[in-house]
Structure 1
Amino acid sequence: MEKKNGFFKKLFGGLEKTRQQLTNRISALVSGHSELDEEFYEELEEILILSDMSFDTVEALVQEVKKRAKKMGATESKLAESLIREILIDWLTNHPNEAKPKSKPHILLVVGVNGAGKTTTCGKIAALEKRKGQQVMLAAADTFRAAAVEQLMVWGERAQVPVISQGQGADPAAVVFDAVQAAKSRNIDLLICDTAGRLHNKKNLMLELEKIHRVLKREAADASIEVLLVLDATTGQNAVHQAKTFHAITPLDGIILTKLDGSSKGGVIVPIVQELQIPIQFIGVGEGLDDLQEFNAEKFVDALFPETVDKA
């Protein structure tokens, strides 16, 4: 419990810049307007767009606020914050993010551009799941980026989980093949595969991921396989673009949002879920081994709208 409270504290601190950009401005807007009128809604739209939500998402959110306010017969602007909070929780929890494993191992194929924190995230997920009592293994299938294999080996040591690798330049699908065989022979619960992030070369990346998928479906036909995309929260709307691009290359099952600490663009989480209908599975708020946790919509929104929670 202490760790969870500690993580919430980090999340709260990490979202400080987003609160300044979003929540504090909404509070100021509410203070300056007594009624939920068109002028209020126009200014609300502007605030939401500046918080790195897309126009489509902002329009949908404002329309939903209007709809709920009308249903309640509410006209006072002070209700806006609690309505926005309710809507965000509804949107962010609409999609189940727990895959049901079939047979061992459950496989996570982790994708993302270089620099998003993909390899680091693989190590943190391994540590998180090991703390839950899972037998975890890492596969170093990002053989393209210099030092990616060595970096994953270091994270494997920190998380105290085995890492299957063949070194830089090896065939990623061959690494995954070896990892699946090793995972099955060692009765591993969770196999996490780090992959290359060459988004600038979509054709090669697509071919590589297709080949890895073929190996997984052949060698682990009865296992559940999830493709998770790592996104850097500090990139804002570019993260949404990356998600759309990767989703076109390989259908995504979930998003891991990193670097929320110190970013003013935490609002990007909303269009990712709302527009792409892809759930957020994990969020990261720091560099430490324990600074990645499963996403909880209510806690995330609580950290964004703390005063609203206190009033409730």
Structure 2
Amino acid sequence: MTTARELFEALRLGAIDLTHRIVHAPTTRLRAETDESPSAMMIEYYRQRASKGGLQITESAHPSQDSRGYLGAPGIYTQAHVDAWRKITDAVHAKGSQIVMQIAHCGRHSHVSLSGGRAPIAPSVVPFETQVLTQDGWMPNSPHRAIELWEIPVLVESFRIAAVRAKEAGFDGVELHNANGYLVDTFLQDGTNKRTDAYGGSLENRARFSLEILEAMISVWGPGRVGVRVSPSGQWGNISDSNPEATFGYFAARLNEYELAYLHIIEPRIKGAEVSQRPVAVATLRNIFRGPIIENDYLAFPFAN
């Protein structure tokens, strides 16, 4: 059982040193300006939540205009974005805290009005319905198309450039959003990846896109300042896999090759408030992944270490 002493013991996440083990997880707030730059309200939001020796992970920032899935989501693909994020990192650092930027492509969870008229993308066309926040309110998502093979290196490069911009903005690291049914997650799981090329089919092929992006981000930051977020057995975004234990077990084992800062796991919960039984995700993956693990979602005190 975790004690208060353990929760407030120092911890090293790769190259990131913390004085306690409570991390502020990414939380979507949709408060960016119309040009997708972080707003003054966002500066205050992160400043208020900064604690000495602690770590915050930002809400997801998208690496290109056509990768956002919500009106009000912040970007990290222009100099204006960099300059605005710098005000946030300065405010957080002034309180002795550290901050990591989560980078995400929303994939099929989007609308043409958010992406300059371009259709949302996914590894394959699989029926999918959700609601997306647009300038005209909540709307059904636009039909998505399958990504062409030649587009994949372009997408990988967009994450690398976003990682460069995050460094320019003063962040202490970056997190790859490989969860919640967004683009990278849809490549990994076989319910949404029906490709027959080098990016579909086998576990190795389905993990390829994630690992190529991860390596691009590591090329900028080094492995000790890069984390990965996953949501095994999660159903957000109508995501599914025929064998999540095998898929995420393989993926976690591959992540051991990089000596990452951490693996961030969103726990699957059958009932939102039920925390009496240890879920499978962390209990399984902590026996595979050898680095630090951040556990997220409805944690009771005994499970908070």
TM-score by length of 1: 0.40
TM-score by length of 2: 0.41
**Structure with the bigger percentage of helix:** 1
Higher relative contact order (CA 8 A, sep 6+): 1
